[in-house]
């Protein structure tokens, strides 16, 4: 089969790989849509032997022995090849599997190729009433975004104001899921340097803070928010995390979603005295799919605004260049 090869130096070429075959307990999935993600920057810039793509939706074309999903079923593919039997998996924490077999698109061939082999346990049937491109929203947008809100609510159940640092796709996902969860009365400030993404965030109901012309503290005050109850960092930048922590009220929670840099703390001043919490949030649990699918069905028009560009597989080079230039929301490769 013809697949895109990420050869390094921000170049994608096309080459051949053998068509995969579903083994015991596996499904062979014909990919119909895969969303680009900022976490693929390293693969794009430095290259990889693996076919990337970890936000895939496709149709089952064959099942290996022991797999029961019928051919023709459309569904979303979970990123993490969780074992299903370790302590974390037994409790539902499939995003924290203690014996993970791999990550689709990173250590296993993913969704930018036309066919993908997965363990059946990673496949979540969606149904044909939602287009494949929109079904990708169930993954990094709704899944990651919604999971981060649940993490914050564990330590701050009375959230009445929110800050999101970074208006890239993950930040927009947090914004959209927060707006659906908390309704129109909870103010949600969101920062970025890119006008395109700030405008999109505003359309989704966010209060934009343009960091080209304002620092975070003044931007929050401009929206009547001297402090916030919960902050979500999607940038992975130490400076952004530090400013977000400083913006928290007493009992506030900072949730770090974006991988990357560190965070310097003065434990007594930053955490103990104000009883703040700093949490991590990694992807989402497989059992969060059903509620998010229902939410997507109820709010398709609103959530679909996050998808701003769609390209055929042949144009994947241009899609990545445009995406990393920043003037996009979510970008989809369709097959």
CATH number at residue 234: 3.40.50.720
- Using 50, 70 and 90 to split pLDDT, how confident is the model at 24? very high
d(Cα 321, Cα 228) in Å, to the nearest integer?
A: 35
Last residue of a domain, one of 280, 305, 324: 280
Per-residue pLDDT of 148-173, as tens digits, reads 999 999 999 999 999 999 999 999 99
Same domain, 262 and 158: yes
Task: Report d(CA 203, CA 127) in Å as an integer.
Answer: 28
The secondary structure of residue 19, as a DSSP letter, is P
Q: Residue 254 sits in which domain range?
A: 144-280
Tens-place pLDDT, residues 264-319: 999 999 999 999 999 999 999 999 999 999 999 999 999 999 999 999 999 999 99
Domain count, the chain: 2
275 and 288 share a domain?
A: no
* Average pLDDT value for residue range 54-80: 98
User: Cβ(93)–Cβ(167) under 8 Å?
Assistant: no
Can you give the pLDDT at residue 56? 98
pLDDT tens track for 188-213: 999 999 999 999 999 999 999 999 99
Of the residues 246, 261, 280, which one is the last residue of a structural domain? 280
Do β-strands 248-256 and 188-192 pair in parallel, antiparallel, or remain unpaired?
unpaired
Mean pLDDT value across the chain: 98
109 within 8 A of 116, measured Cβ to Cβ: yes
Confidence of residue 110 (pLDDT cuts 50, 70, 90): very high
Please tell me whether residues 14 and 102 are part of one structural domain: yes
> CB-based burial of residue 21 (10 Å sphere; 0-12 exposed, 13-18 middle, 19+ buried)?
exposed
12 and 136 together in one domain: yes
Both 10 and 136 in one domain: the answer is yes
Rounded to two decimals, what is the model's pTM?
Answer: 0.97
User: Are 239 and 310 found together in one domain?
Assistant: no
Predicted confidence band at 323 (pLDDT cuts at 50, 70, 90)?
very high
The CATH code of the domain that includes 107 is 3.90.180.10
């Amino acid at each position: 089969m013809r697949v895109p090869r990420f050869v390094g130096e921000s170049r994608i070429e096309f080459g051949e790989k053998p068509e995969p075959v579903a083994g015991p307990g596996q499904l062979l999935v014909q990919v119909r849509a895969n969303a680009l993600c900022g976490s693929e920057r390293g693969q794009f810039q430095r290259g990889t032997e693996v076919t990337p793509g970890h936000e895939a939706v496709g149709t089952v074309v064959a099942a290996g022995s022991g797999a029961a999903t019928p051919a023709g079923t459309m569904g979303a593919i979970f990123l993490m090849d969780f074992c299903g039997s370790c302590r974390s998996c037994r409790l539902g924490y499939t995003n924290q599997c203690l014996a993970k077999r791999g990550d689709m698109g990173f250590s296993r061939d993913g969704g930018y190729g036309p066919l993908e082999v997965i363990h059946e346990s990673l496949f979540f049937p969606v149904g044909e009433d939602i287009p494949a491109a929109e079904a990708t929203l169930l993954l990094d947008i709704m899944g990651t975004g919604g999971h981060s809100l649940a993490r914050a609510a564990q330590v701050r159940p009375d959230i009445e104001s929110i800050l999101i640092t970074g208006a890239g796709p993950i930040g927009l996902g947090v914004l959209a899921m927060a707006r659906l969860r908390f309704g129109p009365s909870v103010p949600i400030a969101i920062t970025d340097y890119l006008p395109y993404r700030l405008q999109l965030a505003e359309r989704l109901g966010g209060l934009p803070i343009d960091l080209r012309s304002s620092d975070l503290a003044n931007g929050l005050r401009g929206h009547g928010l001297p402090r916030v109850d919960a902050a979500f960092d999607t940038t992975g930048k130490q400076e952004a995390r530090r400013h977000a922590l400083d913006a928290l009220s007493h009992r506030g929670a900072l949730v770090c979603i974006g991988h990357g840099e560190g965070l310097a703390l003065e434990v007594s001043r930053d955490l103990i005295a104000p009883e703040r919490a700093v949490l991590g949030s990694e992807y989402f649990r497989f059992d969060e799919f059903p509620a998010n699918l229902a939410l997507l069905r109820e709010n398709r028009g609103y959530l679909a605004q996050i998808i701003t560009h769609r390209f055929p597989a042949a144009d994947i080079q241009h899609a990545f260049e445009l995406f990393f230039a920043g003037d996009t929301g979510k970008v989809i490769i369709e097959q």
